[in-house]
């Protein structure tokens, strides 16, 4: 490896290079006494060997470090570095503000750096909340019940605590629900959120930033440096990482916990599984009435007769899951929660998928269920479906996906304004929070819901930017669909108020994890940066170096689905996943739609297997991806402690337990130290600028 600039030189170091005392005091914590260390005698509930080592710091990990020497290590003129530093810190503060008020997570390392900044803007006095401070209060499953023999039969899954009812009045104001203490609407609970004008201004600031030439050059150079540094790290330390993994008893990639962070419930099974289920159901329930057509009841056998099909004729090709042309009736019968049978067959097949996950023990999934916003009773129907059919598993959590289909509803005269969609999606949630006893099923179901997703084809033409004159939801009565940012803003704003309300009531809160950056304008990724805790896909980050660098600095989780992308948008070999992983972005592998893209009984393992073969991922890379998937998932705090270690939310190696994650301390220390170096590079310059100004 060589660099044109002589000021750059890569050196091998066997001892940790001590940083300046200023940043050491900010970013490194003293290790607690050995007896108090949770890692001093930890053991995994599923057979992991106990560890007896004392708690180490990153500096104690012995490996060959790669560093840059010289007075100027950024490779750009000082003026450009100062300007880039100011802009990047402004962007970091914007995200910390949006995450703080919506009760979503922000990385502790970046938060500590931000606390040192003395820029005078409207966020100066805002306390930055850390990951460990805002762990969501979700279903707190006891350790003994972590993996029951058959969680689907557990009678206590839906026995949740009910808080007392309140009598607050809930009314929308400019598309966002406000909560009042009396019917006269004179006294309001002060739940703040960014208004539309502030969001528009912040979007414009970010869009100007990503188009800034010098900043693009700076971020591109830093990303290239991160890639090169990682290659050097692997060259020097690959064998040490492998030796560290071999030294851990019981644990390997197969029995490390992994979560499918992006998978749709209606296609969570593979084609052969669905075909086998349909044949079995037709054999055993042929005379059961499953639908009404033209006012006439139709049995399952009659449905197949109307399609000129028998069980012998049915094949995977005949099922035609890709095109969905001739099998809409089959989808209605087997893959819907709201049909004539109230989703009976769909619940059964979800239970079969859940059983497979429980059998594997180490695989988990976050299934997406749809709420369309067509009517206010969708939520109660969905909750009733889950509880009546006991669709519960300790290996599954739910995300609610909201399709962006207002234009279709409007053209079919199902609603008059966009406000109706907001009312149908969010008002039932506020009512269930306000009066749980009047909405018992929904209250129980929401215990296992971790957040919201926004789905649709991102490549649809739209005007991605709008100004303060954009119509409010009650005024949006056009046939045209609102842009992506409009949907995301009103989801975020209402979720922010809902989270504050639920937090006040002692209930679990939600996060925003939309499909983002698969196709379409890059402004979608700006929305994700400002308002989403994690995103799905993120392919377009490869074209926007400023945003990619910011996603790295803020450690935003990205659930990537290379096999899905290969079929729809981007050839597998051009997928940026290995590049993102090398640079240190928080990446997880997910399946998206096993019904369309996978062939085996374990689609998530199929995804890992193909990625490992095509990109030559090491065992350490695979375990790092698995660990990332658990960290960015919505499983509860105590479950993550069981899977990753009691201190998983801490920085550096203190947050890693190799006996559970199988990720070597060397890899974790490298990631942490590299992030510290990048943040120090930016924030040191900013501090020097302020010193000069004061002089």
CB atoms within 10 A of CB 639: 21
How far is 540 from 538, CA to CA, in rounded Å? Answer: 6
For residue 694, the 8-state DSSP code is H
Q: Which residues contact 448 (CB under 8 A, 6 or more apart)?
A: 138, 139, 392, 396, 397, 398
Residues forming a β-bridge with 403: 455
Is residue 554 classed as helix, strand or coil in its secondary structure? Answer: coil
Is 292 an annotated catalytic residue? Answer: no
Closest CA to 326 of 345, 304, 341: 304
DSSP for 595-632, please give it. HHH--SS-HHHHHHHHHHHHHT--HHHHHHHHHHHHHT
Pick the catalytic residue: 262, 537, 573, 690?
537
Residues forming a β-bridge with 298: 291
CB atoms within 10 A of CB 352: 14
For residue 209, what is the enclosing H or E element?
helix 196-210
Closest CA to 652 of 631, 628, 668: 668
Q: Which residues contact 571 (CB under 8 A, 6 or more apart)?
A: none
How far is 604 from 600, CA to CA, in rounded Å? Answer: 9
Phi-psi region of 185 (alpha: psi -120 to 50; beta: other; left: phi over 0): left
Is residue 17 classed as helix, strand or coil in its secondary structure? Answer: coil
Residues forming a β-bridge with 396: 365
How far is 662 from 668, CA to CA, in rounded Å? Answer: 11
Give counts: helices (H), strands (E), the chain. 25, 15
Closest CA to 373 of 419, 424, 336, 335: 424
How far is 369 from 265, CA to CA, in rounded Å? Answer: 6
Beta strand pairing call for 10-13 and 65-68: antiparallel
Q: Which residues participate in catalysis according to the annotation?
A: 537
């Amino acid at each position: 490896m060589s660099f044109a600039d002589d000021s750059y030189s890569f050196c091998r170091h066997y001892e940790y290079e001590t940083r300046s005392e200023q940043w050491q005091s900010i970013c490194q914590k003293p290790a607690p006494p050995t007896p108090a260390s949770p890692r001093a005698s930890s053991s995994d509930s599923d057979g992991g060997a106990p560890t007896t080592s004392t708690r180490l710091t990153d500096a104690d990990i012995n490996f060959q470090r790669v560093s840059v020497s010289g007075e100027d290590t950024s490779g750009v003129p000082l003026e450009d570095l100062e300007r880039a530093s100011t802009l990047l810190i402004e962007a970091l503060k914007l995200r910390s503000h949006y995450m703080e008020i919506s009760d979503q997570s922000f990385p502790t390392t970046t938060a500590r750096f931000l606390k040192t900044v003395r820029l005078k803007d409207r966020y100066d006095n805002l306390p930055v909340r850390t990951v460990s401070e805002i762990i969501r209060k979700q279903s707190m499953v006891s350790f003994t019940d972590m993996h029951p023999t058959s969680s689907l039969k557990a009678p206590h899954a839906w026995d949740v605590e009910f808080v007392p009812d309140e009598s607050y009045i809930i009314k929308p104001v400019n598309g966002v629900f406000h909560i009042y203490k009396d019917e006269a609407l004179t006294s309001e609970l002060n739940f703040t959120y960014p208004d539309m004008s502030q969001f528009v201004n912040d979007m414009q600031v970010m869009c100007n930033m990503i188009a800034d030439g010098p900043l693009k050059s700076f971020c591109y150079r830093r990303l290239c440096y991160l890639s090169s540094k990682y290659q050097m790290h692997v060259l020097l330390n690959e064998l040490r990482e492998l030796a560290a993994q071999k030294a851990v008893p019981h644990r390997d990639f197969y029995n490390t916990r992994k979560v499918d962070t992006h998978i749709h419930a209606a296609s969570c099974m593979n084609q052969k599984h669905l075909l086998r289920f349909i044949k079995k159901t037709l054999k055993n329930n042929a005379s059961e009435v499953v639908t009404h057509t033209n006012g006439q009841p139709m049995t399952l056998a009659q449905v197949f007769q109307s399609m000129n099909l028998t069980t012998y004729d049915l094949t995977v090709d005949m099922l035609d899951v890709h095109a969905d042309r001739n099998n809409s009736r089959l989808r209605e019968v087997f893959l819907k929660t709201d049909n004539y049978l109230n989703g009976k067959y769909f619940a059964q097949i979800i239970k079969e998928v859940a059983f497979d996950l429980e059998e594997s023990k180490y695989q988990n999934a976050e299934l997406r269920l749809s709420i369309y916003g067509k009517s206010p009773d969708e939520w109660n129907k969905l909750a009733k479906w889950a509880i009546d059919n006991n669709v519960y598993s300790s290996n599954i959590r739910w995300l609610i996906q909201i399709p962006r289909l207002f234009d279709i509803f409007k053209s079919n005269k199902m609603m008059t304004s966009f406000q109706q969609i907001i009312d149908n999606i969010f008002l039932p949630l506020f009512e269930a929070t306000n009066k749980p006893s009047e909405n018992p099923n929904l209250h129980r179901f929401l215990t296992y819901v971790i957040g919201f997703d926004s789905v649709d084809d991102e490549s649809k033409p739209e005007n991605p930017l709008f100004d303060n004159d954009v119509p409010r939801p009650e005024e949006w009565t056009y046939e045209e669909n609102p842009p992506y940012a409009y949907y995301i803003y009103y989801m975020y704003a209402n979720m922010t108020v809902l989270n504050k309300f639920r937090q006040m009531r002692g209930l679990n809160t939600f996060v925003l994890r939309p499909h983002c950056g698969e196709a379409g304008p890059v402004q979608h990724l700006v929305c994700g940066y400002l308002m989403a805790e994690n995103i799905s896909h993120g392919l377009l980050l490869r074209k926007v170096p400023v945003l990619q660098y910011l996603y790295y600095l803020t450690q935003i989780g990205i659930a990537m689905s290379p096999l899905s992308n290969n079929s729809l948008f981007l050839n597998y070999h051009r997928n940026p996943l290995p590049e993102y992983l090398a640079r240190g972005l928080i990446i997880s592998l997910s399946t998206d739609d096993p019904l369309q893209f996978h062939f085996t009984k374990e689609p998530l393992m199929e995804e890992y297997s193909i990625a490992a073969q095509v990109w030559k991922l090491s065992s350490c890379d695979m375990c790092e991806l698995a660990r990332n998937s658990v960290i960015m998932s919505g499983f509860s705090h105590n479950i993550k402690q069981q899977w990753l270690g009691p201190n998983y939310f801490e920085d550096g190696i203190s947050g890693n337990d190799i006996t559970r994650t199988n990720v070597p301390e060397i890899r974790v220390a490298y990631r942490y130290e590299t992030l510290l170096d990048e943040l120090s590079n930016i924030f040191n310059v900013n501090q020097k600028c302020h010193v000069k100004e004061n002089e």
